[in-house]
Chain A
């Protein structure tokens, strides 16, 4: 038998050697999107393949993972594995995941197919296409994993319909659409680098660790199964950044601006995860603050030190994110509690033990600013006046989160920033969001802001019941307090039935 070819040469033969320089059509007609962002690539051949995976090996590894995952999903369903979770309250974190994150995986799938076609280099095309098909895997396996929960709990059932309409879901939707509607280089900086490389441990992993801590075998198995895909995606993110920075010095300021923008946009999106970590898990993994310190301040800090030699600095306003770490999750959860009638998951106030945990994790902020507020709301609820905010909040024009974040020096003062564009006034939750708008106002004025859309009559009507109906959000079943929910009643009934079975 012939001597085998070395791996690197073989991989080159299997990928980039397939391409050719076109001569019958101008390259600009085959790759029309590659110029307009101003990124200069001198030589696509210098692209270093972040991983060398040919289709034969890909099919083999992925099929093995799929077989194992679906075996677990099937057995979870057969054995009613949902009865083994810590508490039915946990399921609300999964609702946030399926309505907010899984559709984002779909966007990533389509976005990577766009850049997998848009880039002229075969190495980059193949790496992006592999991520495109992986992301299809992720959305589909998530839907299949959570499908069983949908059969037994409320709030999952119309996740696709909700994702395109419900007010807080426009936060992840607009984030991904912002990236997809940008050029290919900005997309890949946003998703591969800022999101996958810098922030994955703060988005994907908290949900999966939450599943592990709370007895959710199905979701944690999905998490393990996706881990090696995620690792590949992260290496792609780093390669993309280094490649752009090495190709031309003119790329540096463009890339820096994108890193600034997408760090801030990603960080704002993570406020949904922050509240999940601190409030929604019956058994908590770590606090948001601890996670931010470990995964952003330490790991991210080291990364940006490493990138300094290319002329890249820490993302703008990173200091603000550090100042906010004592407040972010509390302010976000408090807002959802106030709008619990318009959320597709249940809300609640933390109990005494949970408040003690929060106080221990947030010694500088919780007892001083948030406990009194919560105790007041709990007292009101006990007196029969559960507080729901009847007004519609003003949303930030960029991140689309209600204007709820406060000045860190004075946590009673909400931050309001605004700017004028073509005679109209636009509002922002932060300097970070204002900067993003001001750089591309013509883009952000187009935002489909849920509250503005309601006022303009595009969301089924002007009253809350009409809007909920338009969301397909069933009042009394999908929303409001966990304590009085159908989910909880069913859970108690099922647990009792299964414990009776154990004793017979």
Chain B
């Protein structure tokens, strides 16, 4: 049975904006993602050369070695614009909040053996500093990258990384009952402990990288691509085996976030590589170079957690990353 509500039926003059219609090939209804993304960044009629980069325009394609005929063929598989992103994150945050409350109320992290609780403090908490530099790196890409399709996703990623750094901070506070002592020890380790120095050196080097696409490859594809499986999958499994399965409730966000964000990162590499042989070569060089560099920087941390198996673990993670580069991005390494 059909119930009719009579309303004024007006014929629209058009279905979307003209610049969107040109990209869709005709004037047809466009998605919110498309209307919020296409051509948002100015590409022409720039008034002044930046005082901080007088050789280039305010927005300039020449800030990376990657060359594209059209920067809007990068399409976020998640179709994130601000609204869909923030609503998705708020939902996840609800579940994080419940998990923290559950773990804290029952002191579930105390179920870990002291030895493993110590390992979590040593190997997980200092990563909040690395997340902070990941936040700055994505902010750099947003600032100097090209095209709203790319830079809006990295803007959202910057805020995600700040959120993750804050979740790790909260884990530190849960571990010591909100005194901040664990965070202080962790920061000292980040600054001085030999185990963390190669990684901190890498983080500081990434903060000086000038080619934004290379930074995206180094940080979001290679460093995250090795670190997240290492910490949030392999290390996490070990912790669970040693009475720490509750920790997984507190790192669930990171696991889900990584799987979700990889879809964007893989699309970036795949699309750029498919554009030209020159892009593909550059990307392959970057992935190769940064994989060696990152694997070296992660070695002491891996050894600390996996002892004798460390080398094998790191080899497997690199193999996995190479497989991902091949299968998801079309890169031959």
- Name A residues whose Cβ lies closer than 8 Å to a Cβ of B: 1-5, 9-10, 13-14, 17-25, 29-30, 32-33, 36, 54-56, 58-60, 62-64, 66-67, 69-70, 78-80, 83, 103, 106-107, 109-110, 113-114, 116-118, 122, 125-126, 129-130, 132-133, 136-137, 139-141, 143-144, 147, 150-154, 156-161, 163-165, 170, 173-174, 177-178, 180-183, 443-444, 446-448, 453, 472, 490, 494, 497-498, 501
Neighbouring A residues of B131 by C-beta, 8 Å = 18
Q: A150 to B14, Cβ gap below 8 A?
A: yes
Neighbouring A residues of B24 by C-beta, 8 Å = none
Neighbouring B residues of A80 by C-beta, 8 Å = 7-8, 10
Q: Taking the complex as formed, is B316 at the interface, i.e. its CB lies under 8 A from any CB of chain A?
A: no
Look across to chain A and name the residue whose beta carbon is closest to the beta carbon of B37.
A140
Q: B163 to A25, Cβ gap below 8 A?
A: no
17 contacts between A and B (CB under 8 A): A13-B173, A14-B165, A18-B129, A19-B129, A20-B129, A63-B91, A103-B42, A110-B142, A137-B82, A139-B36, A151-B15, A161-B39, A181-B47, A181-B50, A472-B18, A497-B10, A501-B8
Neighbouring B residues of A64 by C-beta, 8 Å = 90
Look across to chain B and name the residue whose beta carbon is closest to the beta carbon of A70.
B83
Neighbouring B residues of A79 by C-beta, 8 Å = 7
Complex-state Cα separation, A1 to B173, whole angstroms = 12
Neighbouring A residues of B207 by C-beta, 8 Å = 22, 25, 30
Question: Beyond A129-B158, A140-B81: 18 further Cβ-contacts under 8 Å?
Answer: A3-B177, A5-B180, A9-B180, A20-B190, A22-B204, A25-B204, A55-B163, A56-B166, A62-B90, A110-B151, A117-B136, A122-B132, A147-B35, A152-B13, A158-B17, A161-B39, A164-B43, A177-B48
Q: A157 to B18, Cβ gap below 8 A?
A: yes
Look across to chain A and name the residue whose beta carbon is closest to the beta carbon of B94.
A60
Complex-state Cα separation, A494 to B11, whole angstroms = 10
A389 → chain B closest CB, angstroms: 23
Complex-state Cα separation, A64 to B43, whole angstroms = 34
Within 8 A of A (CB), among B150-191: 151-152, 155-156, 158-160, 162-163, 165-166, 169, 173-174, 177-178, 180, 183, 187, 190-191
Q: A165 to B45, Cβ gap below 8 A?
A: yes
Chain B, interface size category, equals: 35 or more
Q: B90 to A59, Cβ gap below 8 A?
A: yes
Neighbouring B residues of A122 by C-beta, 8 Å = 132
Complex-state Cα separation, A109 to B151, whole angstroms = 10
Q: A144 to B32, Cβ gap below 8 A?
A: yes
Q: Taking the complex as formed, is B299 at the interface, i.e. its CB lies under 8 A from any CB of chain A?
A: no
Complex-state Cα separation, A30 to B156, whole angstroms = 22
Contact flag A140-B205 (CB < 8 Å), given A181-B58, A443-B48:
no
Q: A63 to B8, Cβ gap below 8 A?
A: no
Complex-state Cα separation, A55 to B148, whole angstroms = 23
Complex-state Cα separation, A446 to B48, whole angstroms = 6
Q: A448 to B163, Cβ gap below 8 A?
A: no
Contact flag A24-B201 (CB < 8 Å), given A5-B173, A13-B173, A129-B139:
yes
Q: Which 10 A-B pairs have the closest CB atoms?
A: A63-B90, A2-B177, A55-B163, A18-B132, A151-B12, A140-B36, A113-B142, A114-B143, A158-B18, A181-B50
